[in-house]
Structure 1
Amino acid sequence: MEPSKRVSALSHWIYSVSPRQRLKDFLFIFIGVVMASIGLKGFLFPNGFFDGGAMGVSLLLQIITPLDLSTLIILVNLPFILLGAKQFSIPFAIKSSLAIFALAFLVHWIEIPAITSDKLLIAVFGGFFLGSGIGFSIRGGAVIDGTEVLAISVSRRSSLTVGDFITVFNVVLFLVAALFVNLETAMYSMLTYFSASKTVDFIINGVEEYLGVMIMSQLSDEIKAMIAHDLGRGVTVLKSDAGFGKNNEHLPDKKVLFCVITRLEVTRLLSEIDKMDPKAFVIQYPIKDTKGGMIKKRPLH
């Protein structure tokens, strides 16, 4: 991003985002930093567990260097913050910088007694608190672990997806960790990572995961009316060109219905469709997020 565009993006964020929205962003980031600190100081650190991503790199460097962990957290994440400013925006980089500095401060100064010594509980609940911290920070428009920024940048330049890169990165990290500590601790640390990643998904996406549903039926008009009036959801009618049947006969053109619903509504939708047309062909697939329409968008801030 060119310097003039960066300044423009920063000015746009300052003047266009309401004070209430900025306060909400920083509240989410504050909650995220506190939750992550509890996970690190109350579960992982007292028991010698590792984390994935930039925090895991910082913990490894702490073993082989004389530097303090809080200093390493800042140094390891600094390149990712700069990359985020270049790839995304200055406001993103500012909020991420504040979040990472706050996390480093709390890690250095607060003292939390070890909550448990049970390794399975440490892995599960340590990952839960850490994942909550990452998730709330993302909802506030920032990151406290810069590897996601690197993953997005790599995915734009290669065939790897963001998830693929993060997985490969952390597998390599835990293999290295096994050399410096022991295999058992590295394995429990992997459980921590999986617990954290699932918690992040839950906080970002919630229980109301969106599903796209395509319906092909001879009773498309009736099903469309049911979705609009009974479910109160928007529905789009797509006109499809006919194909050929199994006996090579030409099939008539059909209407394809498309709607977006939450996972909690899909059972009712399928039940209503089955009542109207048991032979209807229904396709479901997950949707990451939506904007506009009749489904209220889940705020990420």
Structure 2
Amino acid sequence: MVKRLLKIQDANWVKRVTLWRHVKDALFIMIGVVMASIGLKAFLLPNGFFDGGAMGMSLLLELLTPVNLSVLIILVNLPFILLGARQVSVIFAVKSTLAIFGLALLVHFIELPTITADKLLIAVFGGFFLGSGIGFAIRGGAVIDGTEVLAISVSRRSSLTVGDFITVFNVCLFIVAAFFVNLETAMYSMLTYFSASKTVDFIINGVEEYLGVMIMSQYSEEIKSMISHDLGRGVTVLKSDGGYGANAKLLPDRKVLFCVITRLEVTKMLSEIDKLDPKAFVIQYPIKDTKGGMIKKRPLH
């Protein structure tokens, strides 16, 4: 369909973009598999710690059963992969299958020295490496921990959100761990989970979170010029109709400015807006990601 809509000379461009996207996905997935295997082999496995989610379930079963962890990683994630094929796409399921098999092979065959015996360092840095692996795999369009796929499916059939389900799932997992293993290991493993989850957020969203900003002011032209020329950011002008107060009658056709900036830039923008119109009405809200436009791009994007 895309090729029919584009001119013939643009077909090669489409192929190059598609190829580069596949190369980036493969690179991210490979980095994710390596990072996760380092977290498992150098930190968590030698000390009997585990994480949350499907990976945490695999690690817990490895402690309670004689089954090899490599086999458990595949078996535990297999239902999530099949669910992902139905809920997301077949390509997603194929990528996830390759990533999980790659992780299982590395966990089975590589040997890494134990870096530290300090339990706090093990929990924090084990979670960091494992979370980095999960985050990079998601960047590549795959998962090595399929809990979120199940959470999405449950959220569509119940009042639970994705975050609610993951929280409930992990609370139950840590309660089982405290009962069958010991309370201290479960508590340190909770630190591992928190470290991993924060690392995943950082890898996916980056340090510079995007904010959508909407500005309503009678000096919209001056503010638009400031954003475009002084801040060097793109701005979109939306036509609006006032609905309340005296200004709604005086200015029935007003302009609303919309732009996307990083959180690190918002203070400067608000300061510049105050200089032009202290009474301007400004709305801010988080944006997960953007593509194109005059946006300062984050690393790894």
Give the structure-2-normalised TM-score: 0.87
Does the CA-based 8 Å contact 1:141-1:300 persist in structure 2? no
- Note if 1:144 corresponds to 2:163: no
What is the alpha-carbon distance in structure 2 between the residues aligned to residue 258 and residue 24 of structure 1? 31
Amino acid at match of 2:98: L
Matched residue, 2:111: 111
Pair 1:107–1:25, CA change in 2 (3 A):
same
Matched residue, 1:98: 98
Amino acid at match of 1:91: I
Matched residue, 2:187: 187
Pair 1:249–1:163, CA change in 2 (3 A):
closer
- Note if 1:65 corresponds to 2:42: no
- What are the ranges of 5 or more consecutive residues in structure 2 without an aligned counterpart? 1-14
Q: CA deviation at 1:236?
A: 2.3
Q: CA deviation at 1:196?
A: 0.8
Q: CA deviation at 1:17?
A: 6.9
What is the alpha-carbon distance in structure 2 between the residues aligned to residue 252 and residue 17 of structure 1? 46
Amino acid at match of 2:50: F
What is the alpha-carbon distance in structure 2 between the residues aligned to residue 227 and residue 259 of structure 1? 9
Matches within 5 A, 1:165-184: 165-184=165-184
Matched residue, 2:127: 127
Amino acid at match of 1:131: G
Aligned residues: 286
Matched residue, 1:12: none
**What secondary structure sits across from 1:261 in the alignment?**
strand
What is the alpha-carbon distance in structure 2 between the residues aligned to residue 266 and residue 105 of structure 1? 45
* Farther off after superposition, 27-36 or 150-159: 150-159
What is the alpha-carbon distance in structure 2 between the residues aligned to residue 288 and residue 22 of structure 1? 22
- Note if 1:274 corresponds to 2:242: no
Pair 1:158–1:291, CA change in 2 (3 A):
farther
**What secondary structure sits across from 1:256 in the alignment?**
strand
Amino acid at match of 2:270: L
Pair 1:21–1:216, CA change in 2 (3 A):
closer
What is the alpha-carbon distance in structure 2 between the residues aligned to residue 250 and residue 25 of structure 1? 53
What is the alpha-carbon distance in structure 2 between the residues aligned to residue 169 and residue 205 of structure 1? 23
Pair 1:158–1:290, CA change in 2 (3 A):
farther
Give the structure-1-normalised TM-score: 0.87
What is the alpha-carbon distance in structure 1 between the residues aligned to residue 213 and residue 55 of structure 2? 39
Matches within 5 A, 1:40-55: 40-55=40-55
Q: CA deviation at 1:54?
A: 0.8
What is the alpha-carbon distance in structure 2 between the residues aligned to residue 42 and residue 53 of structure 1? 20
* Farther off after superposition, 122-131 or 274-283: 274-283
Matched residue, 1:198: 198
**What secondary structure sits across from 2:141 in the alignment?**
coil
Matched residue, 1:37: 37
Pair 1:31–1:257, CA change in 2 (3 A):
same
Amino acid at match of 1:280: A
Does the CA-based 8 Å contact 1:44-1:126 persist in structure 2? yes
**What secondary structure sits across from 2:224 in the alignment?**
helix
Q: CA deviation at 1:169?
A: 0.9
Does the CA-based 8 Å contact 1:135-1:204 persist in structure 2? yes
Q: Identity over the aligned pairs, expressed in percent? A: 83
What is the alpha-carbon distance in structure 1 between the residues aligned to residue 265 and residue 118 of structure 2? 39
Amino acid at match of 2:232: G
Q: CA deviation at 1:198?
A: 0.9
- What are the ranges of 5 or more consecutive residues in structure 1 without an aligned counterpart? 1-14
Does the CA-based 8 Å contact 2:33-2:133 persist in structure 1? yes
Pair 1:86–1:16, CA change in 2 (3 A):
farther
What is the alpha-carbon distance in structure 2 between the residues aligned to residue 201 and residue 160 of structure 1? 21
Question: Superposition RMSD on alpha carbons, in Å?
Answer: 2.3
Matched residue, 1:157: 157
Does the CA-based 8 Å contact 1:243-1:251 persist in structure 2? no
Q: CA deviation at 1:154?
A: 1.5
